[in-house]
Homo-oligomer: A and B are copies of this chain.
Amino acid sequence: MKARTQAAVSAEAQIEDLLGTETRFREERRAYQPGLCSALTAGRTTTRPLDGYELDAIKVAREQLPFVSQNRLVEIIPGGQASHQPRRLGIVLSGGPAPGGHNVIGGVFEAMTKGHPESRLIGFLAGPKGIITNQHVEVTAEMVDLHKNSGGFHMLGTGRDKIDTPKKMEQCRQTCATLQLDGLVVVGGDDSNTNAAFLAENLREMGTQVIGIPKTIDGDLQVPGLLQVPFGYHSACMAFATEIGNLNSDCKSDLKYWHFNRLMGRSASHIALEVAFQTHPNVILIGEEIEENELTIHQVVRLIADVVVERAQLGKNYGTILIPEGILEFIHEIHVLIIKISYIIADYDREAHEGESFQQLSYEDQVQLIDNSDIWRDYDSRVFLGFPSLLQRGLMLPRDSHGNFPFALVNTERILLEMVATYLRKQRAKGIYKGIFRTQNHYYGYDGRGTFPTCFDCDYAYNLGQTAYSLLANGATGYMAAIKDLHRPVAEWQPLGIPLAPLMHLEERKSRLELVIAKQKVDLESPAFRFLARERDRWALEDHYRFPGPIQFSGPAADAKPISLQLNALG
């Protein structure tokens, strides 16, 4: 009887366990202690200038950021007299979530409490808006432990507000004054680090130092020789690589589908490049190369279709294709049409009566209006009318509030798929193509952005958080925390402070030039790209598929790093 009651209790407990949100996997992830580089393990650090890198701010940056632009590149070394009074620090997560964000918070928190147990960390909620409106929570040791090595930005949420008006800047000053912050850590991409630079300049006199942290899955925040990749990039690439590797496996088994995959990553093709090394797809498009070679969209279609035709001759009517979501930006003829159509839409909307707009016109009227414009040439019409209707409609999508074209909303993979199918029909009619062209199309983005961070990103983000604290403790402001030599073992990683001002350039935003951190494209001279150019012909025809499998957190596969990063370090 007693045994039976125990069995019942045990069943109850098992059911509760099965229906709860706590898993052995999460417990295991929390138990992982990220490695820390030697320079930071002692706790006491100092900074010293690092020479040999050209980092000069442009004139506008020196004018707009007169104090911050005087910063010089520094490296962090053990020892020194860094003061460890109790500190009141703030932290904000900004832009799209990236795996590892919670470890940045953990790194700052642990370094800060090691520095002085009475230090306090204020977490702003839902991104920069949290600073502007002073919405915050105090980060506790329990919160840090709960979220350790987990994905997403759940602890604080995130948002995309820009601190781009004197009023918003004043509100931020108010918040920092009210909370008596002596330091603020801004975790984000190019726009967020631009925020950090201006905050550093504006909060200097009231004694709030500001440090940026390089975050973006897109991989487009880089500084040659100093910042190889931002955190989050590796994890997102590995999540996408798992999915593409699985499609390699599926098409090699079922022998009947061509999988067209669009990958998140804004304009640059960094994600597609890394995923290609992880999976060896049959076709990989790199936007930067298409731009360099001035390819038309029909030439891009040929790049794909020729591989389909050649594989069909080998009896292989299947394959995988990687398409970076920003590809259309790099095709000159499309770029020109987007600019012209944007101008025509803006012009029409400016003159339109109340309640009318270009988007309310019928498709035919839209095309008519474009065709009648002064800036529209016969050549433009020929190019435009040669496009499939999916692309024509895509080009007329509503622009965002800044007038920017919404590349991410265009189903580029379906447009290319349709154009390849049309081309293949012609090749079939000529007797050149005799294969069967069955297809599936996929878009991978949000699912990879939300993944658990790889051990590499766990370690990296944790060290970035610790570096940010070290920079603050050494009195730095207007810097981005960074780690050099990521291809080496964690112990040998070199923490840096990279001055923000020299990373900035002028870019058109809301139709005027603004000073912002420059995004980095794929470097066609880099070893990684040259290796890709060497290998991809083999990937096209042989089934040289690589199956990376799901991200592992223990065992020999757990200490993986980005392949492109390693190739660049070796090459």
- Contact residues of A with B, CB < 8 Å? 11, 14-15, 18-21, 23-29, 93, 96-97, 101, 126, 150-154, 157-159, 239, 242-255, 257, 259, 277, 280, 440, 442-443, 446-452, 531, 535, 544-557, 563, 566-567, 570-571
Contacts and interface: CB of A to CB of B under 8 A. Distances in A.
A28 B571 CA distance: 28
Nearest to A558: B554
Nearest to A570: B11
Nearest to A153: B253
Given A27-B556, A570-B11, A452 B254 contact: no
B449 A246 contact: yes
A541 to B, nearest CB: 15
A324 B314 CA distance: 37
B450 A250 contact: yes
Contact of A563 (B18, B550, B563): B18
B448 A556 contact: no
Given A20-B546, A29-B549, A158-B255, 11 more contacts: A18-B563, A18-B566, A18-B570, A23-B546, A25-B555, A151-B547, A157-B255, A242-B242, A452-B550, A550-B552, A552-B553
A20 B547 CA distance: 11
B249 A566 contact: no
B557 A254 contact: no
A249 B550 contact: no
B97 A249 contact: yes
A253 B567 contact: no
A24 B500 CA distance: 39
A374 B24 CA distance: 61
A250 B97 contact: yes
Nearest to A250: B450
Contacts of A150: 249, 547
B280 A448 contact: no
A243 B547 CA distance: 17
Contacts of A277: 18-19
Given A15-B570, A253-B153, A21 B246 contact: no
Nearest to A255: B157
Nearest to A238: B550
Contacts of A447: 243-244, 246-247, 250, 442
Residue from A101, A154, A442, A531 whose CB has the most chain B CB atoms within 10 Å: A154
A257 B280 CA distance: 32
Nearest to A246: B450
Residue from A29, A157, A249 whose CB has the most chain B CB atoms within 10 Å: A249
B151 A555 contact: no
Nearest to A550: B550
Contacts of A544: 21
Given A255-B126, A556-B28, A446 B247 contact: yes
27 contacts: A18-B570, A21-B545, A23-B546, A23-B547, A25-B549, A27-B556, A97-B253, A97-B254, A150-B249, A150-B547, A151-B246, A152-B252, A153-B253, A154-B253, A243-B243, A244-B447, A247-B447, A248-B450, A259-B446, A442-B446, A442-B447, A550-B550, A550-B551, A550-B552, A552-B553, A554-B554, A554-B555
